[in-house]
Chains A and B, each alone.
Chain A
Amino acid sequence: MNYYETLYIVHSALEAGRLKDIVLTVEKSLKENDGEVVATEIWGKKKLGYYIDKQKYGTYILIQFKSDGTKNNNFNIQMEHNPSILAYMTVKIEEDGIRQQTEDLDTQIAGKETKTSHASHHVVEKSSTEEEATTKVEETPAEETPVEVEESKEKPVAEESPSETEVASEEKVEE
């Protein structure tokens, strides 16, 4: 058994639901051709090096699988006949080159979608951090003030009187 990987480009106009359907159909056709899927990685929408079928952008998907290689030709023919796949390339890889799939297919597709609206998310995160900061600032004086009040209560009346005189003198200077 050898390890192979196929990198294919899906039409960029396809949405999340359709994209998942295509990924599943490719995996299905791979299983029909005696292949065992090891990992699937969605790279997301990228600019192509050159136009393919008048398309400037495409969604790259990498699929790594284990197979004896005898039916890879049939798999490639099926990929060729799929109209929503712009281009594909199957390459033999070593066992070291296998990537570990950490995320589920749905989360990967959702992650790529959220990346497109990345800026809006940043704004939300910033506002939330600002809110946290303001709450912290509000909390700290509230905690300190009662302590000051208690201290002032404990202080004798004689100590308070000079401060009042100082304030009065300052007012005179301002006048």
Chain B
Amino acid sequence: MAFISNRKVCVFCENNEIAIDYKEYKYLRKFLTETGKIIPGHVTGVCAKHQRRLTNAVKRARNIALLPYTVDPRNT
């Protein structure tokens, strides 16, 4: 029986064309929970290098109100 790996591969390592930028806030939403928290890399499969850049981009987007700091799920 062939061994099938369940290990996720980093999206940004797979595709070099995807830029991690705070202006692409709609794409960054993929890496946030519904309450607005950043999902850890071991859950999404993003490598440490790109996770660092991703968190910086999310924090920049939050600073300029492109993304929320927190979302109350009761209001949505």
* Interface, chain B (partner A; CB < 8 A): 21-23, 60-69
Contacts and interface: CB of A to CB of B under 8 A. Distances in A.
Interface string A149-170: 0000000000000000000000
A46 B66 CA distance: 9
Contact of B62 (A49, A52, A58, A62): A49
A87 B60 CA distance: 12
A133 interface: no
Contact of A91 (B60, B66, B68): B60
Contact of B60 (A50, A52, A89, A97): A89
Contacts of A62: 23
A114 B22 CA distance: 27
Contacts of B61: 49
A63 interface: no
A16 interface: no
Given A49-B69, A50-B68, A62-B23, 10 more contacts: A7-B23, A9-B65, A49-B61, A49-B65, A49-B67, A49-B68, A58-B65, A87-B65, A89-B60, A89-B63
Q: Is the interface of B mostly helix, strand, loop or mixed?
A: loop
Contact of A50 (B22, B23, B65): B65
Nearest to B69: A50
Contacts of A46: 66
B73 to A, nearest CB: 15
A87 B64 contact: yes
A52 B64 CA distance: 10
Closest 5 CB pairs of A and B: A49-B68, A48-B65, A49-B65, A89-B64, A49-B67
Contacts of A88: 64
Interface string A58-70: 1000100000000
Contact of B65 (A52, A91, A97): A52
Contacts of B65: 9, 48-50, 52, 58, 87
